[in-house]
Structure 1
């Protein structure tokens, strides 16, 4: 007999070899119908996989994030089976579930092409295979047998994956007529998949390397019922309207140019206004919080990044070095080493701590071309970065203050849903992916966890996602239509201080190494503006709008008065423009609405004679007639308060 411990602490004995689905059935048939996977001692397993030893068990359903990922990964295998039936000889690379929802599979179709029109036929085949209710079966296999299997198929992609696997780590999964190398887990059977939509076809370089062959990537989404799929597709339609790339072009926010280079956005005047307003907000907020501003170069010598440890850990994400006078220089991929040298420039005592320095620093990261995506994944980024050097006793207050800064920003931008993801180290990768200081890892992770609990901030823990020098918080936010974004990080660093020989004189007149907090509450201009474009659907609140007021004369006769109104607004530092085109007023209003300008001031005979303006609010229509001073007073108050729509 084995003992199974449930999340509430209850324990129950079962025969060895029982599986999670059987345990669920022992509780109730209704529960068993909902279970699609399980966590066994913290690891996600097939619900049908035998449990042979005492274990902690958490039953996973569609309501759980890990349940959804298992469902979507299983759907990727179902899609692969449908593709293989339609395109014999196809070879598959990887088919993961996506954190943002859904799945994809990369495949080599040889000389054949797969178009958007082919997706409907594949969906039909997937639904047919799902109804067959074929069981997903897991089989452990030796490396030699796996190599033989894929050698006979001539599948260089799976053979490449096997290079990094050893006996005891290799499993095959089968459902129906499809078998694949996969570590799982999977749902019990295909019949659980009730609704499928293949959403797009794209190209993807093998391993994300543009030097390798271009594979075909098919994206899809699936659900346990049609209603949820319909709701999801409706959300996708709304998301298309809010696509930051589309809105960025329509509103003149940014552009990309091949002559400049991939992933290197050019900010147009309207986008630059938004950047400057965000930077102004950050500077004011940080000044109030006791930060001092600094500026650092865009390049640095190789030795600094060796000292920091970013080389070799981070080399693949950095631009290659430039060699000058026998020295190697790298484009700056992160601000922290520069900031450490600023801390070290002058002696510090405990009276100088906490020492907070901030910079909107420009960094360059060589993201693979296949991973570039509008403003969300770029190669040049402007980071709302800062570093706090403090004592261990000051850490909790400083870390808490950073989190409170996040909450302040959330309120300003109308972000109602968020969660902090506490990213921890993986003990098995100490000395490889992480600094080999096991005691410091546990201590600093506990410090961060305690602050989150005391502050009553919603958070989840994720193993193996920490920075190489310490635990971090990844801030996950949701836009107005429910799309999830990673905004920024708040990181703890117990290693860099020693690497750079940083110290302060403590109260006992002894040198002590400071703890370091890396934080960037607004992330980068690029990612955050991309998020805001989608969050607001381009309808920025007045304080952030590139053009805040458009003055619309009914005809050229009223142009002189329109210019007087414009000058009065500009004198008050309002971003105002005149639409002086020889067009009818109806067209001017429609065009201003399309450009999502918050306010229109219409001036004609009555307005000019009585020194008034007729006010229209974006999306809300006529707001009455007032004097320019009255309008301006209300507008300036709205801007100062950073009022939402």
Structure 2
């Protein structure tokens, strides 16, 4: 991803490209010239768009994303409206956290070892890194006092800690839940559909959406995957924010289905949303640290469903997917699916 936009000159090149051309003009070896040519070509092919810019205090916050040719040129207005409200409330939340008094705490590990930390500052990820860099890298989610907990969310007091990987059932469920959010982001960027529910299932995840009278089918699968890959490439952090019911209804006023959930199922004064890139969704979480943890993702099929599973209510579209932290795992899974399909054909 580029750090700046193209210059206004006749060539419309990024500063990074101009720098490479200057280096190229001063070298003698043909192989080095060709290598730089390839780098320039790769940079020129990558499309980056400034989606949102807002001044918070004296800091200008920017959201830049890799964009796919498959997505909408102009995203729906509700995406930027959500971001503006989220940024405003997140700034207040960070001020509240910063104002809290930190106290020494003890963190008990599964092997009986006790580590020291500070409330509202020390995170499960920092503890995992103290144990080993390998553990921190493979960590999907934490379990704090038997509650699933974001790796970057600070401890609030003395706690027990367990680090879960993809091989753990709960870790796998969180990984696939986060992947469902990536798919939801791809759906919004592809067609502007209104998201309903997304869930991890036994073998992957799905995302339900409402898209008026239009249909998402097999021809759209690869396009959605391309947009999802852009989200993964950006390593968008998953950010947790507690919001009041009134703010939630304001944020999701464009989506009748989300408003139903808020009005009918949110029984507390506050509940949480999670953000990754331009997507902000009503969600209890927790999630992986960032979208880049999902190294391999495939959209597997499309089908129809109904709101709340009731055939008398609105017809929705359901998109299924599968994901893994290692591309090799996806290839193995796809091979197993092919073999299973061949066996079914042979048996019939």
How would you bin the TM-score normalised by the shorter chain? 0.5 to 0.7
Q: Which residue of 2 aligns with 1:219?
A: 320
Structure 1 residues 193 and 111, CA, compared in 2 at 3 Å: closer, same or farther? same
* Mapped contact 1:140–1:168 kept (Cα < 8 A): no
* Mapped contact 1:137–1:173 kept (Cα < 8 A): yes
Deviation at 1:168, TM superposition (A): 4.8
Deviation at 1:47, TM superposition (A): 1.1
Please, which of 117, 124, 131 is the counterpart of residue 219 of structure 2? 117
Q: What is the TM-score when the length of structure 1 is the normalising length?
A: 0.37
Higher relative contact order (CA 8 A, sep 6+): 2
Q: Which residue of 1 aligns with 2:171?
A: 67
What secondary structure is seen at the aligned counterpart in 2 of 1:93? strand
Confirm or deny that 1:140 pairs with 2:242. yes
CA–CA distance in structure 2, aligned partners of residues 77 and 211 of structure 1: 27
CA–CA distance in structure 2, aligned partners of residues 130 and 61 of structure 1: 19
Unmatched 5+ residue regions in structure 2? 1-103
String of CA shifts for 1:354-400, please: whole Å, max 9, x gaps.
Answer: xxxxxxxxxxxxxxxxxxxxxxxxxxxxxxxxxxxxxxxxxxxxxxx
String of CA shifts for 1:467-506, please: whole Å, max 9, x gaps.
Answer: xxxxxxxxxxxxxxxxxxxxxxxxxxxxxxxxxxxxxxxx
Q: Which residue of 2 aligns with 1:40?
A: 144
Confirm or deny that 1:127 pairs with 2:234. no
CA–CA distance in structure 2, aligned partners of residues 66 and 230 of structure 1: 23
What secondary structure is seen at the aligned counterpart in 1 of 2:227? helix
CA–CA distance in structure 2, aligned partners of residues 92 and 46 of structure 1: 23
What secondary structure is seen at the aligned counterpart in 2 of 1:222? strand
* Mapped contact 2:273–2:282 kept (Cα < 8 A): yes
Deviation at 1:29, TM superposition (A): 2.0
Q: Which residue of 2 aligns with 1:91?
A: 194
Confirm or deny that 1:158 pairs with 2:258. yes
What secondary structure is seen at the aligned counterpart in 2 of 1:62? coil
Deviation at 1:111, TM superposition (A): 2.3
CA–CA distance in structure 2, aligned partners of residues 141 and 48 of structure 1: 19
Q: Which residue of 2 aligns with 1:341?
A: none
Deviation at 1:169, TM superposition (A): 4.9
What secondary structure is seen at the aligned counterpart in 2 of 1:97? strand
* Mapped contact 2:118–2:155 kept (Cα < 8 A): no
Q: Which residue of 1 aligns with 2:111?
A: 8
Deviation at 1:38, TM superposition (A): 0.8
Aligned Cα RMSD in Å? 1.6
Q: Which residue of 2 aligns with 1:231?
A: 332
1:533-612 matches, within 5 Å, as none
Total equivalences in the alignment: 243
Q: Which residue of 2 aligns with 1:174?
A: 275
Unmatched 5+ residue regions in structure 1? 251-645
CA–CA distance in structure 1, aligned partners of residues 269 and 326 of structure 2: 37
Confirm or deny that 1:195 pairs with 2:195. no
Structure 1 residues 6 and 141, CA, compared in 2 at 3 Å: closer, same or farther? same
CA–CA distance in structure 2, aligned partners of residues 186 and 139 of structure 1: 12
CA–CA distance in structure 2, aligned partners of residues 218 and 125 of structure 1: 14
